[in-house]
């Protein structure tokens, strides 16, 4: 990759917490992210909306480092994440470096992905003990505090199969928070849930947003929630941001024809 035009690190007064710099991701012939640029400020809550297949999940997966990008560089807190510096140039990040960079990011998945053979508490404690090297006592205290935050401290000894979808998703949020990330990623965390329990999960996210300093990227189909809670909304279309702006601007006065079409289709379906 000829990456002379990508800085080794971001400096200056206004370094974003996350920067996608001309990021491209392809699966075979399919370009899923097309030279994407995206900045997210520290403590900003960005909602990502768009039609199915537009690359919303892919944005989060690339930032989490679950897969490699094909072109461009992702920066986290000013440091390159997908790449690292070597002899004054950027080269692809090694596993060790990637792991270090990943530690500031947490992700919550659509399908929860809790460990089914571990209780809620064990799910939360596993990584803090194994990865951060906390003592079991410290990890337990931290996990209990977070289970309390999501309103499930009374369910700490339950296995996931015994919990409702909403409860499982709240445990998954607590599990991600137990690693003390600076950035939290939510990928349609309510779309596998029954409509009547969506609220218990969105409430937790709202609480996180109001009471904790976290940078959040949230892919969602819930336009009302996105409008309510986010600082900025990005509308994705074919691997690019077709339009972005404040919730009021984007939902009330979409400038892009595709945004308008998408919104009217979604609102009609509700």
Partner 1 sequence: MFDWRWDFTIEILPRLLEATGNTLIAAGLGYLIALVLGLVFALAQRTPYRLLTFAVRESIEFIRSTPLVLQIFFVFYVGPQFGIRLSPWTSGMIAIGLHYASYLSEVYRAGLDSVPKGQWEACTALNLSVRRTYTKIVIPQAIPTVIPGFGNYLVGIFKDTPMLSVIGVTELFHAATSIGAETYRFLEPFTLVGAIFLAISLPAAMLIRRFEDWIRASLGMTKLHAKD
Ligand X SMILES: Nc1ncnc2c1ncn2[C@@H]1O[C@H](COP(=O)(O)OP(=O)(O)O)[C@@H](O)[C@H]1O
DSSP characters for 104-154? TEEEE-TT----TTS-HHHHHHHHHHHTS---HHHHHHHHHHHHHHTT-GG
Q: How many residues bind Mg ion (CB under 5 A)?
A: 1
111 binds, among ligand X, partner 1, Mg ion, none (CB under 5 to 8 A by kind): partner 1
**211-224 burial by CB neighbour count: b if 16+ within 10 A, else e?**
eeebbbbbbbbbbe
Distance separating alpha carbons of residues 23 and 16, to the nearest angstrom: 16
* Beta carbon of residue 159, minimum distance to partner 1 (angstroms, whole number): 5
**183 and 217 in contact (C-beta within 8 Å)?**
yes
First to last CA, the chain: 45
Distance separating alpha carbons of residues 8 and 31, to the nearest angstrom: 26
**Which residue's CB comes closest to Mg ion?**
57
Which residue stretch of 23-31, 52-60, 134-142, 225-233 sits at the interface with Mg ion (rule: CB under 5 A)? Answer: 52-60
Q: Is residue 57 part of the contact set for Mg ion (CB under 5 A)? A: yes
Looking at the DSSP bridge assignments, the partners of residue 106 are 184
27 binds, among partner 1, Mg ion, ligand X, none (CB under 5 to 8 A by kind): ligand X
Q: Is residue 176 part of the contact set for partner 1 (CB under 8 A)? A: yes
Ramachandran angles phi, psi of 174, nearest 5°: -60, -40
The footprint of partner 1 on residues 235-264 (CB under 8 A) is none
Which residue stretch of 18-26, 43-51, 58-66, 225-233 sits at the interface with partner 1 (rule: CB under 8 A)? Answer: 58-66
C-alpha distances in angstroms, 246 versus 9, 55, 185? 28, 21, 19
Query: For residues 68 and 267, which CB has a smaller minimum distance to partner 1 in the complex?
Result: 68
Contacting residues toward ligand X, per CB under 6 A: 27, 30, 32, 50, 52-58
Cα 92–chain centre separation: 22
Query: For residues 52 and 95, which CB has a smaller minimum distance to ligand X in the complex?
Result: 52
Q: Is residue 220 part of the contact set for Mg ion (CB under 5 A)? A: no
The footprint of partner 1 on residues 101-120 (CB under 8 A) is 102-103, 105-107, 109, 111, 113-117
Give the footprint of Mg ion on this chain (CB under 5 A).
57
Give the footprint of partner 1 on this chain (CB under 8 A).
64-66, 99, 102-103, 105-107, 109, 111, 113-117, 126-127, 130-131, 159, 161, 175-176, 179
């Amino acid at each position: 990759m000829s990456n002379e035009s990508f800085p080794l690190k971001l400096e200056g007064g206004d370094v974003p917490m996350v920067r996608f710099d001309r990021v491209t991701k392809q699966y075979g012939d399919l370009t899923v992210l097309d030279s994407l640029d995206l900045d997210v400020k520290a403590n900003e809550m960005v909602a990502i909306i768009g039609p199915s297949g537009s690359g919303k999940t892919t944005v989060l997966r690339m930032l989490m480092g679950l897969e490699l990008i094909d072109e461009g560089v992702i920066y986290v807190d000013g440091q390159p994440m997908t790449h690292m510096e070597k002899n004054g140039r950027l080269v692809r990040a090694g596993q060790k470096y990637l792991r270090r960079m990943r530690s500031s990011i947490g992700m919550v998945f659509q399908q929860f992905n809790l460990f089914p053979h571990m209780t809620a508490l064990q799910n939360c404690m596993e990584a803090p003990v194994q990865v951060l090297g906390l003592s079991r006592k410290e990890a337990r205290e931290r996990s209990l505090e977070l289970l309390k935050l999501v309103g499930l401290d009374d369910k700490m000894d339950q296995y996931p199969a015994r919990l409702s979808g909403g409860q499982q998703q709240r445990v998954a949020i607590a599990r991600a928070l137990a690693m003390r990330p600076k950035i939290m990623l939510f990928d349609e965390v309510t779309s596998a849930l029954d409509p009547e329990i969506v609220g218990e999960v969105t409430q937790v996210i709202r609480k996180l947003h109001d009471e904790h300093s976290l940078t959040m990227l949230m892919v969602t189909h819930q336009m009302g929630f996105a409008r309510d809670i986010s600082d900025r909304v990005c509308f994705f279309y074919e691997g690019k941001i077709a339009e972005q702006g404040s919730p009021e601007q984007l939902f009330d006065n979409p400038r892009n024809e595709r945004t308008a079409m998408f919104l009217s289709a979604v609102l009609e379906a509700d």
